[in-house]
Amino acid sequence: MSACVVKCGGSVAGEAVALVRPFIGAGNPVVVVHGAGPQISAEMERRGLAVEFVRGRRVTTPEGLAVVRESMATVNAALCQAIGPRAIGLMGDEIGLLATRVPELGEVGDPVPVAPPAVLDALATGLIPVIAPLAAGPLNVNADEAASALAIGLEAERILFLTDVPGLLLAGAVVSRIAADDAAELLDAGALQGGIQPKLHAAVAAARQGVRAEIGRTAVVA
């Protein structure tokens, strides 16, 4: 499929609309996957729930999962409104996103590649699926990894990770291009910290399956 999957975090959701519009105008099928990290953390702190991450992924308790869902629904609705009438909001666990539970992280899963019928039907009718990354269970799924699994399952042409940094930074400079194997070595060596870890891991997975993968201005190539 010639679709483009665009992943945006909760902190840059507004910018995603400007990015998606050129693809819409060109007639390309577009799938948007979003996170809600800042919103989730703020609400968890408000409720007195611990905010904890392991290698860039959120530890999620049953109480935290309720916050995740509420925050995802809020961001999803706002994105759909901003994109316009062709946008259709979809909660991942309701459309068949699948994941393997990661017990050490709580109610969290590693997503598996899938092409949900609801997404295919939406694309076939010219709609823009806007997907919240929850998997059956329900399980909280990192949005970067969910976007990659969808891109692979849909056999998308391209996946773009929109982030609040310009790309992969090494020694303070943006890397314009990195081989998937070299990126994997950086991850295995623990050379990176924070949210770039799941982004790069997801980009590597997509690139190795033939999907053109970019994190901001950084191209990840197989």
Residue 21 confidence class, pLDDT cut points 50, 70, 90 = confident
Q: Tell me the average pLDDT across 155-178.
A: 91
- Residue 40 domain-assigned (yes or no): yes
Please tell me the distance from the alpha carbon of residue 79 to that of residue 83, in angstroms, as a whole number.
6
- State residue 84's pLDDT score: 87
- State residue 12's pLDDT score: 61
Look at residue 51 and give its three-state secondary structure: coil
- pLDDT over 70 at 1, yes or no: no
- State residue 11's pLDDT score: 66
Q: Considering the entire predicted model, what is its pTM?
A: 0.92
- pLDDT over 90 at 2, yes or no: no
- State residue 8's pLDDT score: 87
Any idea how long the chain is? 222
- Residue 89 domain-assigned (yes or no): yes
- Residue 201 domain-assigned (yes or no): no
- Residue 189 domain-assigned (yes or no): no
Beta strand ranges found along the chain (DSSP E):
4-8, 30-34, 53-54, 57-58, 87-91, 99-101, 109-111, 128-132, 134-135, 139-140, 158-162, 169-170, 173-174, 177-179, 212-215, 218-221
- Residue 216 domain-assigned (yes or no): no
Check which CATH number belongs to the domain holding 130 and give it: 3.40.1160.10
- Residue 193 domain-assigned (yes or no): no
- Residue 222 domain-assigned (yes or no): no
- State residue 16's pLDDT score: 66
Number of domains in the chain: 1
Rounded percentage of the chain residues whose pLDDT exceeds 70: 94
Task: Report the mean per-residue pLDDT for the chain.
Answer: 91
Nearest alpha-carbon partner for 32 in 122, 139, 124: 122
- State residue 26's pLDDT score: 65
- Residue 194 domain-assigned (yes or no): no
- pLDDT over 90 at 166, yes or no: no
Domain encompassing residue 29: 4-164
- State residue 153's pLDDT score: 97
Task: Answer left, alpha or beta for residue 115, where phi above 0 means left and psi between -120 and 50 means alpha.
Answer: beta
Phi, psi of 204 (to 5 degrees): -60, -45
